[in-house]
A and B are shown apart, each in its own frame.
Chain A
C-alpha cells in the first residue's frame, strides 16, 4: 500500500510541470487561432460593423450632429442637461464625448485587425477576398470620417498595435480616408443593387464607398479649403475624380429616387389612423430591398432588450415624444425639438416640409391627445421632425404600439421597440453631391431631386444647392457638417436668438450661440489627454471652464 502510494506521489512529482500548467481557452478564440478562414473573416467583419449601432445619445454621432445643427434644440427632460449642453456648444463634464471617441476607434481597431489578417486567411476565391477586404477599407474610412467631422484632427493609426500618438494632420487623415475609400471602390464589385442578394442588404457596396468619398472630399475641400487630397502612396484625389465616382454611382448602381418622398419614412406605415398618411395614401417603402434610395444604412433589429442594448435603434427613442404614446409617434426622451424658424421659412409648396416636420397644431396632421405641458419636456416648440421617430399604430386590442410589435411581433417595451434602420447615405444626397461637385450632369441631378419634391426646375448653383440640401436632407445628420464646410455656421447661428420654447409648460425664450473658438469641433475626452501624457492635445475652445453648462 505504502509503496503504491509513494509511486503515485513520485509520478505526480515527475509530472511535467508545463503540461499540468497548460490550460485551454474553451469559450474564446485568440488572435493566434482567429481568423483562419473566410467564415471567420466574415464574423470579424460583422464585429467591425457592430460599433455602428452603439446607442447612448452622447456617443451617437447622428444625435450629436443633429442637435448641434441650427434647426434643432436640445430638449429632453429636466435631467438631460447634456443634450442641451451639446445644443449650445458647451460641456457638462470634461469627458462627455468619451464614448463617441472610443466607439469610432473601436471600429478602426477592428478594421485594422481585418486588414492585418487579410493575408493570414485562407480564401475560397478572389471575389470573396475583395468583397470583404473592400468593406473593411470602407468601414475604416467611415469611422475616421466621423472622427474628423466631429473632432477635427485626431490620432491616426492603421495598426492594431497600441501606440500613444499625437494628432495627425488633416491632410494625413483625409489622405488615409481617401486612400481607404479608393481601395474600397476598387475592391468592391460593381454589382447593381438590384442584383445584390437580400441577405447582403446593409453591407457596404462600391456605390456606398463612392458616395462616402464624395462626402469626405466635400468636407475636406470645404472646411480645409483644399482642392485635392494627397494619398499616402503619392496619388491624388481631386474634384474631378470624385465627381467621376459619383457619376459612376448614379449611372451604374441602380440606385434611384423612390416616387413619393414621404414613403421613405416610417410614419407612412401608420396610414390607417394617422390622418396625414391616410389622406395622402402613403405606403411605406419598407426595408426589404424596395427602397432603392438607401445607399448606406445602419441596420438595427427587433431584438432590442435591456441586455442587448445596441440592437435597437435608440436614435428613434431619444427623438420620441416625452412620455406620450400617440399615433403616429410614440414615447421617447423628447430630444431635439425643431426650431420654429425652419418651419416658418420653409416654403409651403414644398411637400417635403410637411413630410419632414410635424406641426402639432396642424389639423391636416390629425394628431389627437398630445399634451404640451406637464410632460417633463424641456425646450418644447410644438414642432417635431418626422423622419426618425418611434412610429406607432393601433394593435388588434386598440392599444398604441410601436410598428415593430406589428411587423415583428415584439411585446411592447418602448425603450427597446424601435427597429427601423438609420439611413446615413441616401441617394438624393448622392445626387446633390454630384451637383455640388460640378459633375457634367449637375443640372440633371439637381432637377431630379426637385422634381420628385414636386418643384420646378431652377439653375444649379451653390446657393440653390445649399437650400436644397437643407430641405431635402433635413434631420438626416448632414446639416451641421454642411454648415461647417460651407463656412456658413456663424451666419446661421446668428439667427438663433430668442427662440420661444416651453420648459415643462413654462414659456421662455432661448438664444443659442455658436462658439467659433471651437472651430466647430467637439471637446476631446479629457481623460484621453491625461492618459496620453500630453502627447494628445485638447481642441481649441475647450480649455478652461467658461463653456461649462449650468
Chain B
C-alpha cells in the first residue's frame, strides 16, 4: 500500500507542476528555434507551430523562476506570435495572418472529435493539411481554430485511423475517428518487432487491452478465453488465484504443453499476476512460422504481452474499479439423511448383508426418521454466500516528444465461494512503470532512445484442498455422510459418529487443516532497453530483462481429533521461502528499407542469452509449537528438533541457460506479395554438449488478392482479401537437466545399527542416462486467408493447420528389469490438425449506433502417432476415481492424448434371463456371475470374458470445437456487451465418491434413479456395500459429455458524461456486469470447465469435486480524465 501511495503522490505532483511551471532561462541573441528547444527541454511542454512562423528570428531573454505563460507572453508578443497552452502543448500562430490567407478570409470554426462509440477524444491533433498549423482537442473533445474555407483538416489520434475532412463552409464540424483495431493498418506484435497486420503472413491473433479489461476478469487469461480461436484455455480450478491450462492448437506433448509467455520481452511462467488494466495488447503466435523467432521454446506457441506504453500528449488518467458478489452458479445435491439411509440399507441388502441398525449408529436418528432433521448438507455448510470481489486500477499515460510514460497501480481481491470457515482468499497488488526517453534526436528521428518496463506484483493467497481424490475439501462435502451433525451440543465440531468412525467432519477439517495458511509471492519483471537508430533505416536495440521472484508460504495446523483417521496429536508448523531470478539479454539489429516504393524489406538479426534458475528455496516443518495459533506459527516457536518430526530442505532452482541467434526477413512487393523467412538457432544447457544446438527455420508467404487488377470488380463487396501460407519448425527443451548423465539420488535410507531414530543415507543411480536426449520439434503448416467484406463491415479470417510434434521429450515406461528410472527420450509424435474461423460484423452507423457481432470457432483433432516403446503407451496413474481402480487415462498411439480408457457398457441386466441371454458367438455366458441390476459390459473381443482386452476409448477430454460468440452495442454513451464461449465434443470423468473402497460415502441425488427392480433403470446399476465390478471397473458410467456454452459476461454501461456535461472528466462510465450468468450444458457437475487432470499436465476433464467458477455480479465505474 505504501508503494502505491508514493506513486500517486509523484503523479499528482507532476500535474501540479505542469500548471504552474516556473522557468529559469538565459539566452542571448539566438534563433527562436533554440528558445523553443530550451523550453521543451526544461519543461514537459512541447511546441506546435505553423509553417508561417519564422523560427530564425533572433531573441534575447533572461528569466528567473518566471511563470512559463508570462515568459512566453513576454518573448512571443515581441515577435507578433500568439500562443495557446493546451495540455502539454503550446500552440503558436502568427498574430497577423499572411496575405494569402487574408484574401481567403479565414473563419473561426468549431469542432468535436469522438470515437466510434461517441466518446470524446481528448488531445486529438487537428492540423490544416499542407501546413503545420493546428490545435488539439480539449477535455470535451472540442476544438476551435481559424481556417480558410476550402481547407482540409487532418485529424489524428493514437490508436485511431487518421481522417481528413474538408472544411467547406461549415462552421461546426464533428469527426468520428475509427479505432485502429478495425482497420488493417493496425500493427501486431510479432516478436522482436511489430508488423502491419495486413502484411502478416503467419497465423497470429491479437487481443487489445481494452477487450481484456472490459471483461473484468481477475486474470487476463480469463478474458482471452472467448476471444482467441485456437487457444484452448481451461480453468484448472475455480478457486481464486488458481491458474489456467492453456494449449495452443491442441496438446502437443505429454510434457509441458503450455505456451511460452513473454511479457515486455521477458520470459514468464504465466501472466496471472498482471492486472488486465495494465495490458496494451496480447498477441498469440499460433503457427510455427510466427513462433519460429522464439525457436527453442516455441513448440507450444507463444503469447506476447505488451503492457501499456507511454504516449505523447497530456496525461490521460483512467480509473477502473468494480466491486461485486459471487455465488455458486449450480450445486450438486448430496443425499439427505433419510435418502442416504434408504440407499445404504438397500446396498447392504444387495450385498447379502443385514440391514443397518441406525438407532445405535446414528445420533438423532429419531429426528431423521420423523423428518425433523434432514441431516447435514456439507456443501451448503461450506458455501460462502455473496463472496466479495473487487478491483481498483489506476492508469496514467502521457508524455512529450522526448519522454513518454505509462504508469499503473492496481489492487484486486477475491474470496472463494466454497470453503467456509476457511474461505480461500486471493489478493493482488500491482504497480507498473513504463517510460521511454529520446536521448539524442527529435520527434522526427530519434538517434538514441532508452526506456524501461517494470511490472511489480505482490499476491497473497490462502486456499483449501482442491482437485484430488482424497485431499479435496469440495469432494469431502459431497461424500461425507449426512448423519454427522456439524456441531455438537457444546458448539464444537462434532466428532465422527459410530456410523462411520473414520469419516471426519469436513467443516472441522477446513477449519483446522486449512484455517491457517498463506502463500505470498513477489514478482518483479521488467526490462531496460536502448534503441540506436544511426539512420532511419537501421535500428539497433539492446534489452536486458529480469524476472525476479520471491515467495513464502506458512501454515499452522493445530492439534485436533475429528475421527479415528483424522487427528493430529501434535500441532504442525510449516514455513517455506524461495527467492531467485532469471535474466535475458537480447540484442537485435533491424534494417527497414523501401526501394522504389515498391519493394520493402524489413530484416532483423539478433542474439539472445538467457540464464534462469538463479535462486534458492528453503523449507522446514516441525511440531509442538509453544503457541497454538496461526499468528505464532513460526518455526522459531517449535523448540524441539527431532530427527523424525523436523523436516528441513533447501535446494537451488533448476538452472538453465539458453543461447540463441536468430534472424527474420520480411519482404513485400507493393504490399501485395509478401514473404517472411525466419531462422533461429538455440543451445540449451539441458542437453549434453553436442546435442545442445537446435535450428528452427520457417517460411511464410502472403498474397493480397484484392490489390490485383483482376479483383477490381469485387472491391465493392470484397475490399480486402489476403491468402497466407506458412511452414516452420519450433522446439521445446523443457526437461529436467542432466538427463544425459546417470544421476545419483540420495533419497534412499537404510537402518543398520540399533538406533531406530536414525537412518543411514543410501544412494543409487536413479535414471538410465540418455546422452542423446535433445530438442523436441514441432512442425506446422498453416494455410489461411483474411478478408473484409461488405464495405469492411465484415471481417473473416480462416486458418487450416497441420501441426506435428516430433521427438517429444517423454519418460516412456521402460522395462522393470532395468532396475532404475526411465530417462527422458525423444520418444513420441503427435499430430494436431484443425481449423479456425473468426467472423466479425462491426459497424457504426451515421446516427452513431455502433454494433458488432463476433464469432470465432476452432476445431482440433489430436492423435498420437508414435510412442517409442513397444507398448506404444504412456500410462496414466491408477486409482484416479477410487483406490484400486485401473488407469483412467493414457497416451497411446492412434488415440488423442489423455483419452479415457475403460469398458463400454450396454445397460443394466433387468432380470436373470438377460444374464443368461448374454453370450458370445460361441454361446458361452459372458457374465455368468451377474445378477439383475448389474452392468452389462460390452464384450468387444467376442471371447467369453470381460477383461482388459475389452477396454476401449470411452471418452476424450480434448474438445473437438471451441468457440466464442460475442455481441456488443453502443449508442450515445450507452453500451451493452454479451460475451459467450464454449466447447463441444469433450468428455468429463466424474466421481464424487470412492466406489471401490469407501462404501459408506454419500451419493448425489442421481442415485435415486438407480436400478432397484426390473425396469427401474437401464443406466445406473444397483447399489452395493461390498465393492463390485459395476463400479470398480472404469466404464462409461463415469463419463459424461462436457459440452457447454457459457454466457461468461453481460455488461450494461452508461457514460454519465453524456448526461451531465459539467462533470469535469472525459468519461464517467458506470456499469453493471454479470459473469458466468448462464451455462448451457448437459453436464451434471457444478462446472463443466474442468481443467483438473489427476497428476499429469497432459490430462484433464476429471471432476472429483471440482471447485466451480462462481457467478458474479459486479458494479463498476470507469473514469477517464
Contacts and interface: CB of A to CB of B under 8 A. Distances in A.
Interface of A: 2, 5, 9, 12-13, 15, 17-18, 20-32, 34-35, 40, 43-50, 52-53, 77-79, 81-82, 92-94, 98, 101-102, 105-110, 112-113, 154-155, 157, 160, 162, 164-165, 198-203, 287-289, 299-303, 305, 307-308, 311, 323, 404, 407-413, 419, 504-506, 525, 527-528, 530-534, 536, 545-546, 548, 550
B644 A410 contact: yes
Interface in B733-757: 737-738, 741-746, 748-754, 756-757
A47 B754 contact: no
Contacts of A533: 870
Chain A CB within 10 A, most for which of B354, B764, B816, B818 = B816
Chain A CB within 10 A, most for which of B542, B570, B818, B871 = B818
A17 B657 CA distance: 10
13 contacts: A23-B655, A23-B656, A43-B762, A44-B764, A46-B762, A79-B996, A101-B816, A107-B819, A164-B817, A299-B752, A311-B749, A411-B623, A528-B815
B897 to A, nearest CB: 20
Nearest to B439: A1
A201 to B, nearest CB: 6
A34 B871 contact: no
B363 interface: no
A107 B820 CA distance: 9
Given A46-B748, A160-B765, A531-B814, A302 B757 contact: yes
Nearest to B769: A31
Given A311-B749, A545-B945, A5 B530 contact: yes
A311 B756 CA distance: 10
B757 A108 contact: no
Nearest to B820: A109
B816 A48 contact: no
B1006 interface: no
A202 B751 contact: yes
Given A78-B999, A532-B815, 9 more contacts: A46-B760, A46-B763, A47-B764, A50-B750, A53-B750, A101-B816, A202-B752, A409-B757, A525-B816
Contacts of A110: 764-765, 819
Contacts of B754: 198-199, 201, 287-289
A407 B756 CA distance: 9
A20 B659 contact: yes
Contact of A32 (B684, B741, B758): B741
A101 B659 CA distance: 44
Contacts of B761: 43, 46
Interface stretch (B94-102, B457-465, B1022-1030, B1065-1073): B1022-1030
B380 interface: no
B569 interface: yes
B748 A50 contact: yes
Contacts of A92: 884
Nearest to A24: B655
Majority SS of interface residues in chain A?
loop
A44 B765 CA distance: 9
A323 B448 CA distance: 78
Q: Report, nearest first, the 7 A-B pairs whose CB atoms are least far apart.
A: A109-B819, A46-B762, A47-B762, A79-B997, A533-B870, A47-B764, A50-B748
B659 A21 contact: yes
B683 interface: yes
Contact of B884 (A82, A528, A550): A82
Contacts, number: 260
Contacts of A323: 501, 564
Nearest to A106: B819
B768 A43 contact: no
B644 A162 contact: no
B763 A528 contact: no
A160 B767 CA distance: 11
Contacts of A412: 569
Given A50-B750, A548-B947, A25 B743 contact: yes
Contact of B738 (A13, A28, A40, A162): A28
B491 interface: no
Majority SS of interface residues in chain B?
loop
A115 to B, nearest CB: 13
A49 B762 CA distance: 8
B542 to A, nearest CB: 6
A113 B765 contact: yes
Contact of A29 (B657, B743, B750): B743
A164 B753 contact: no
A534 B815 CA distance: 12
B813 A527 contact: yes
A535 to B, nearest CB: 9
Nearest to B692: A21
A302 B644 contact: yes
Contacts of A93: 886, 948
B643 A303 contact: yes
B1115 interface: no
B765 A79 contact: no
Interface string B570-591: 1000000000000001010000
Contacts of B611: 20
Interface string B946-965: 01100000000000000000
Contact of A47 (B609, B763, B871): B763
B532 interface: yes
A532 to B, nearest CB: 6
A32 B886 CA distance: 39
Interface in B908-953: 929, 943, 945, 947-948
B354 to A, nearest CB: 8
B1027 A81 contact: yes
Contact of A408 (B684, B757, B996): B757
A531 B819 contact: no
B753 A550 contact: no
A197 B612 CA distance: 49
B685 interface: yes
Chain B CB within 10 A, most for which of A24, A79, A527 = A79
A26 B652 CA distance: 7
A79 B1027 CA distance: 6
A311 B759 contact: yes
A323 B1000 CA distance: 15
Contact of B870 (A43, A308, A311, A530): A530
Nearest to A286: B754
B4 interface: no
B669 interface: no
Nearest to B752: A202
Given A29-B744, A50-B762, A98 B448 contact: no
Contacts of B657: 20-21, 23
Contact of B762 (A12, A22, A48, A528): A48
Interface string B630-653: 000000000000011101000110
A222 B250 CA distance: 59
B817 A78 contact: no
Contacts of B814: 162, 531
Interface in B862-880: 869-871, 873, 875
Nearest to B1032: A81
Interface in B556-576: 564, 569-570
Contact of A94 (B750, B948, B1026): B948
Given A102-B819, A530-B870, A9 B587 contact: yes
A98 B757 CA distance: 31
A490 to B, nearest CB: 26
Contacts of A112: 819
A23 B612 CA distance: 11
Contacts of A157: 817
Contact of A105 (B652, B741, B819): B819
A528 B817 contact: yes
A43 to B, nearest CB: 5
A173 to B, nearest CB: 13
B352 interface: yes
Contacts of B815: 162, 164, 528, 531-532, 536
Interface in B397-436: none
